[in-house]
Amino acid sequence: MRFLRFTKKKVALVLGISLIAQSLLLHIQPTYAADEKKPAASPSPAAVTTPAPNAGTTPAPALNEPQVAAKSAIIMEASTGAVLFQMNADEAFPPASMAKMMTEYLAMESIKEGKFKWDSPVTATKNAADVIGSGQLIAENETLTFKDMFNAMSIYSANDASVAFAELLGGTEENFAKMMNDKAKQLGMSDKAHFISATGLSRADLKNPPASIEGETKMTARDAAILAYNILKDHKEILEFTKIPSLKLRATDKSPMINWNWMLEGNSTNTNFKKYAYAGLDGLKTGSTDDAGYCFTGTAERNGMRMITVVMGTKTEPERFNETRKLMDYAFNNFEIKPFLNAKQTIDSLKSVNIKKGVQLEVPLVTKTGLTFVARKGAKDTEFKVTTESVEESKLVAPITKGDKLGKVKVNYNGQEKTVDLIADGDVEKGSWIRLLFRSIKNFFSDMFNGIKGGS
């Protein structure tokens, strides 16, 4: 009997050591007891990125939405691309000289890329000098600085200056139109956006219509807003030109070029235009032809919030500005920039994550940056849906450095979705092998005794 008891003890001891060794060999740090006591994390949503401006998300309609006398219209907030109002915004129409926004974009891009400087010379060819429509200020073979030529295009909507830029940047206007179409795709404009010239003139009005490009120049209101959004994001210096009410092209000129944009804030003291002047409005591009009617892409900033509006196909010149005023008033009266999350903020649904093989068992998480939304004035926090997810488990292993991305939080408000990283709010050093060994042994016996207790 004594021999039998001794044998049972030896067997139990051998079995215990065997189980411990097996646990250590398979995973030196198995799931520890703290994991079972920790509340389960929120279900992992699919990965989401901040939507592009062409996503077309629009807050729920309000009772006071404007009634716009135009073929199409849209309001977009300039820092987020959030669409606040839209009317027939995805039907393509001739944009007239609003097409020059793309010519302006490519011209400014060439400056940013170092291909030209603002004092670089630009010479008008006969083809540029002879183009019909607005402008007709520049003679054949006349050379102006890049900046002066840009003044003519952006302030006076000069067709001759626009063609001069097209030939400078593309070799021919036809090649430049291909560049315009390529850039439209890069900027996320729809497949309805189509350019055949640098000016926006109809094919019938072009002396040298492009043989390799079919159709007419067309854009949707959303396309025009996306183009304006990208100009303001990538080349905000455009506003230093478009805000100028009038300017002499040459110092020797008798009369200045008058900006076609009557709504400029700078016109508030102008007898002819002061009734149209709008506080904070400093751009962006007008356009009119028989086919297009009267169009206007406007932008204004008030109280740190910038709006982009587009109206296409109004019947009269004053009407395009009156309808734009409706859109601007609606936007500024009903919406605001609302900070929702702050940088280094803790999110209740994912305050921390468990870390394997570390000195500490977990690390707290905070937001990397803050989040702001364009929200209706008075919007409640309960209108914002928050979801979180951690990175995959294989990345939750020490060492961890403060600032490492370990998760993300997604916030949805009225169709606007934004995501911000959740980062480690501290360091977690890798545990020594002896620490991990004893932790593993401790967890093994804890799991075993909990199993015995639960089974009894």
**Phi/psi class of residue 419: alpha, beta or left (left: φ > 0; alpha: ψ in -120 to 50)?**
beta
Q: Which of 71, 100, 183, 410 is catalytic?
A: 100
C-alpha dihedral sign at 46, 52, 56, 60: positive
What is the CB neighbour count within 10 angstroms for residue 417?
Answer: 16
Q: Using alpha carbons only, what angle is made at residue 101 by residues 95 and 105, rounded to the nearest 5 degrees?
A: 150
Nearest CA to 373 among 343, 412, 408, 405? 412
The neighbouring-strand residues paired with 367 are 422
d(CA 390, CA 394): 11
Question: Active-site residue 112, yes or no?
Answer: no
Q: Which amino acid is at 323?
A: E
Q: Which amino acid is at 64?
A: N
Cβ atoms of 127 and 207 closer than 8 Å: yes
Cβ atoms of 108 and 306 closer than 8 Å: no
d(CA 398, CA 123): 63
Burial 75-111 (b: 16+ CB within 10 A, else e): bbbbebbbbbbbbbbeebbbbbbbbbbbbbbbbbbbb
Q: Which of 157, 202, 288, 440 is catalytic?
A: 157
C-alpha dihedral sign at 92, 95, 101, 104: positive
Q: 315 φ, ψ to 5°?
A: -85, -25
Q: Which of 97, 197, 288, 352 is catalytic?
A: 97
Question: Active-site residue 233, yes or no?
Answer: no
Burial 294-318 (b: 16+ CB within 10 A, else e): bbbbbbbbeeebbbbbbbbbbeeee
Alpha helices per DSSP H over 215-301: 221-234, 239-242
Question: Active-site residue 97, yes or no?
Answer: yes
Nearest CA to 221 among 259, 180, 190? 190
Q: Which amino acid is at 78?
A: A
d(CA 156, CA 166): 17
Active-site residue set: 97, 100, 157
